[in-house]
Structure 1
Amino acid sequence: MATLVSFHAHPDDESITAGGLLRRAADQGHRVVLVFGTRGELGEVPDGFLDEGEPLWQRRVAETLESARILGVSRTEFLGYVDSGMMGEPSNDDPSCLWQADIDQAAGRLAAILREEQADVLTVYDDNGGYGHPDHIQVHRVGLRAAELAGTGRVYQLTTNREYFEAGWEQFRAGAEAAGIDIPDSDAPGVEMGKPEAEITGRFDVSDQLEAKRASMRAHASQISEHSLFLGMPEEAFAYAFGVEWAIRDGQGPGITETDPMAGLPA
């Protein structure tokens, strides 16, 4: 049995960016471990959603554990940093937030888990964190350093295929608006996603795991409501958006050369 460790910034990131890969690895008989940099303290939640006196982080941890169960995860850990908020917000300056974390110190915490698990595979994000969120960028930096410290040789930088994303965004935008879901143009400020297809080396078909991925998203009800863009989109659009996951691995390519991050590892 091989071990996949998937490192993320906040609860629900695992569902959106890697839910299919995690469930597929578990279905193949591999051990799957989730690690989060923060507990998502600064997520937005509708008024009245939380119980009186309930902190958001507590609800998000509970949601994460349910998501992990759905995805077949064997272990879930939090590194203990605080959510940094979006880039440029005052919360970026909080000395306890992930954005302010010392890279080697944070990497040491993750590396300890990698060593303990004897991890064969680690997933992080690309160098822009997928879309420029400071905590996601730190996941890239901390994750790569942790892999060096622990000697984890197979590291995948989860990303989005920019051309694929833009084509799908425009294709389904009209349908989303017809359903009452307002989304911006694909070229609107702040929505540029991922990396050019030419830089991507892994294309992972997770269409067989779509229902598990959707259920994992639903588990994060404080952040992903039934009327959100993700869960509100038509079936065809959901399959297009979430039925394929993408990654970059140094030393691979040019072009897509991998279809399974666990290929060649004993199940």
Structure 2
Amino acid sequence: MATVVAFHAHPDDEVLLTGGTLARAAAEGHRVVIVTATDGLMGPVPPGGAPRLAELRASAAALGAHRVEHLGYADSGHGPLLYPDPPDRTRFARADTEEAARRLAALLREEDADVLLGYDANGGYGHRDHVKVHHVGRRAAELAGVGRVLEATAPGEAVARVMRTARALRLLRHHEEPDGLYTPGAAITHRVDTRRFARRKQAALAAHRSVVDGNGRASAVVRVLVRLPAPVFGLLLGREWFVASPREGR
């Protein structure tokens, strides 16, 4: 059995990008560890702890993961402005890549990881924290000697079609989610059918109450997703994609 470490930027990313794969790996007897770079908070951590990390632990339990860790960074936000660091920690986008990679590499060594899941070179849709995950993940795998690095992504052409439809329906503004991101379909190396684990992935998504109960357009979409019949949810989100890092096969 293998140990799979999934490295993500924020709580809820573990579901949207890799939830089905992690649920399938856990069900097949592999050890699954989820690591997030940030706690999902823009400001200081409240006295009771970061609420989104508690949601992450509930999500991980729904997926069958065995361990959850946080590297200690703050969310960097998505948009033209990179705000000053909160007083208690550094925003991930400003973190020293080598230092962050050493933190992750220590976990990889401790777990004797066989596979590291990260993000593609675009960080999927270009979020600065996602792009940072790409660089930190690759460097950590090199430091820890992890031979298999698979980077979560989606077929860029299909995503572009969805974005064009969303703009036409005025669900997105024209400057949001630009085309040309994720990975061209021809470059994707691993396609994982996770429809059998749709119910687990849906339950994990529902555990992120901060997102489900939010006021933005993304929250409205998530509320619809968590209320769908599980087979319909599986048809929509029952496939996940990865591209093998050049490290694999060396």
Q: Normalised by the size of structure 1, how large is the TM-score?
A: 0.79
Is the contact made by 1:41 and 1:56 (CA closer than 8 Å) also made in structure 2?
no
CA distance in 2 between counterparts of 1:64 and 1:156 reads 21
Alignment counterpart, residue 106 of structure 1, candidates 100, 111, 120: 100
What letter matches 1:189 in structure 2?
Answer: H
| Cα shift readout 1:92-111 (whole Å, capped 9, x = no counterpart) | 66681110111111000000
CA distance 1:251–1:98, change in 2 (3 Å): closer
Q: 1:176-233, CA deviations, whole angstroms, 9 ceiling, x for partnerless residues?
A: x7xxxx6238xx3332341211221111111111111111110001113496213415
* RMSD over aligned Cα atoms: 2.8
Counterpart residue identity of residue 242, structure 1? L
Once structures 1 and 2 are overlaid, which stretch shifts more, 16-25 or 216-225?
216-225
Query: 2:117 is paired with a residue of what secondary structure?
Result: strand
Work out the CA distance in 2 between the residues paired with 1:38 and 1:158.
18
Residue 89 of structure 1 aligns to a residue whose secondary structure is: coil
Structure 1 position 237, deviation (Å): 6.5
**For the Cα contact (< 8 Å) 1:39–1:57, is it kept in 2?**
no
**Cα distance in structure 2, aligned partners of 1:134 and 1:56:** 28
Cα displacement (A) at 1:59: 1.3
- The answer to whether the 8 Å contact 2:195/2:235 transfers is no
CA distance in 1, matches of 2:200, 2:164: 26
Separation of aligned partners in 2, 1:203 and 1:214: 19
Cα distance between partner residues in 1 of 2:73 and 2:245? 28
Separation in structure 1 between the aligned mates of residue 48 and residue 75 of structure 2, nearest angstrom: 11
Structure 1 distance, partners of 2:16, 2:157, is 18
Task: Determine helix, strand or coil for the equivalent of 1:131.
Answer: helix
Q: Which runs of 5+ in 2 are unaligned?
A: none
Conserved? CA contact 1:122–1:155, under 8 Å: yes
Q: Is 1:139 aligned to 2:127, yes or no?
A: no
The alignment partner of 1:223 has SS state of helix
One of 54, 75, 82 as aligned partner of 2:67: 75
Q: 1:247 to 1:140 in 2, by over 3 A?
A: same
Q: List alignment gaps of at least 5 residues for structure 1.
A: 44-52, 253-267
Contact 2:196 2:234 in 1 (8 A): no
User: 2:148 is matched by which residue type in structure 1?
Assistant: R
Aligned to 2:176: 190
Residue 210 (structure 2) aligns with: 222
Q: 1:210 aligns with which of 175, 178, 198?
A: 198
- With normalisation by structure 2, the TM-score equals 0.84
Q: 1:157·1:249 contact (CA, 8 Å) conserved in 2? A: yes
Q: Which one-letter code corresponds to 1:34 in the other structure?
A: I
* Letter paired with 1:28: E
* CA-to-aligned-CA distance 1:230-263 (integer Å, 9 cap, x gap): 34156576434411111110359xxxxxxxxxxx
Q: Which moved more, 1:205-214 or 1:190-199?
A: 190-199
